[in-house]
């Protein structure tokens, strides 16, 4: 197995959260990048809430292409974004941020993932109520 060595063209991605030692996201993403031959790296981005704004500004300055957001920042990140998708707006939470030339856009892919799992299970959700 070869060692990945980032260069000036490497795309930067990561997982933003408070306590991330349990996460398998870097392993999953980095293995995927390698298997697809992509010059990209996925990093753990741990910070405290009091440093969130400064941390996000640093990610923009460093040129991160995007990052996933986990608890406890899915709601508190919203004021630092330039825009967000209709699903993020409706759910009031963001779990994915894309950085396009310094403009940060938030998305919520949790909703889509949940809907897909329900549909694939064969459960007919129409006209039903649920408690989560």
Active site residues: 74
Q: Under 8 Å CB-to-CB from 98, ≥6 apart: which residues?
A: 65, 66, 104, 105, 107
Q: How far apart are CA 96 and CA 35, in angstroms?
A: 22
CA-CA-CA-CA torsion for 85, 30, 71, 106, nearest 10 degrees? Answer: -10
């Amino acid at each position: 197995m070869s060692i990945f060595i980032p260069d000036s063209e490497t795309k930067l991605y990561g997982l933003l959260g408070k306590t991330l030692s349990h996460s398998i996201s870097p392993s999953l993403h980095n293995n995927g990048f390698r298997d697809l031959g992509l010059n990209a790296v996925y990093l753990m981005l741990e910070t405290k809430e009091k440093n969130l704004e400064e941390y996000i500004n640093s990610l923009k300055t460093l040129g991160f292409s995007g990052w996933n957001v986990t608890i406890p920042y899915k709601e508190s990140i919203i004021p630092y974004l330039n825009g967000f998708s209709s699903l993020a707006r409706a759910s009031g939470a963001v779990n994915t941020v894309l950085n396009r030339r310094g403009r940060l856009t938030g998305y919520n892919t949790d909703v889509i993932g949940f809907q897909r799992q329900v549909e694939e299970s064969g459960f007919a959700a129409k006209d039903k109520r649920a408690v989560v």
